[in-house]
Structures are given as C-alpha cells and as structure tokens.
Amino acid sequence: MVIRIDNNSYEKLLDEAFDKLPKLEAEKSDFVIPNVDSLVQGNKTTIRNIAAIADKARRDVSDIARYLSKEFGVPTSTEEQRLVLTGKFSQEQLSKEVRKYFETYVICRECGKPDTHLENAGRGMLTMVCEACGARYGVKNY
C-alpha cells in the first residue's frame, strides 16, 4: 500500500509537527560556583563548606587545600569536613580564589562545562580532560 502525498500537504504536515514540538531555549547550565562560607577565629580562617565545594568541583578536598595553600602562602589543615588556613582572610578573598580554581582546573575552556578530570602529565603539568566535549589541554600543577 502506497500513500501519495503532494509537496504542499507534506510541508503542511511538517509545519504542524514542528509547531507541536516544545520550544528549545538556549542551553542553560545549572552549574554555579559555590560561595565560600568562612569564619575567622583569631589568626585562623576556617572554610566550613569545603566538602560541598570539593563535591561540586568533583575534586578531593586535599587538592583544593593544596591550591589555596599555595595561592595564599600559608599552611592548611583539615578538621572535621572543614579547611583551616593560618591567617586572616575575608570571604571575598577566599571566594575569588575558589572561583579562580574552578575557572582554571574545573571548567573546560572549550565548552564551558564542569565535567572534567585531571591527569598527571609529569614535569609539573596536569592534563585536563573534558568528559563532555573530549578536549584535552595542559594546565600547570598547583
């Protein structure tokens, strides 16, 4: 059995089908870099939500701690899901450095998605591999 449809009715059916499809908006990313929840006690600054930040970045707390230690030039330690930095740092300073960490070591330069992981490339370099678009590029080890 063959059904014959002329071009006008085919285009009309096609237009009707497209009209019934949901309208696609520009792709929205629900990924948001978390703000730092910090507390200054004496000469120490505690980041209370370091576990949530590490979880969002899909990295170990120790990796983020090592990065912040190098950037601020102070020793760090972890205590009960908290990161303690020796020194007084404002929440804005900490949020700025965490944002910089995400932009350098988490978010893909090519597609802008956070679906990445790091591989050791040797000689002080890491290779960032994007699981979303497949991009691979070198980043300096922290």
What CATH architecture does domain 31-106 belong to?
A: 2-Layer Sandwich (3.30)
pTM, to two decimals: 0.77
Tokens at 105, concatenated: 């070591």
Q: Is 14 in contact with 25 (CB distance < 8 Å)?
A: no
How would residue 1 be classed by pLDDT, with cut points 50, 70 and 90? low
Q: Is 113 in contact with 130 (CB distance < 8 Å)?
A: yes
CA–CA dist 93, 87 (Å, integer): 12
**What is the rounded average pLDDT for all residues in the chain?**
90
* Annotated domain spans of the chain: 31-106, 109-142
What pLDDT digit, counting tens, does each position of 68-125 carry? Answer: 999 999 999 998 889 999 999 999 999 999 999 999 999 999 999 999 999 998 888 9
Maximum CA pair distance of the chain?
A: 85
The phi-psi region of residue 80 (left if phi > 0; otherwise alpha if psi is between -120 and 50; otherwise beta) is left
Closest Cα partner for 139 from 124, 12, 75?
Answer: 124
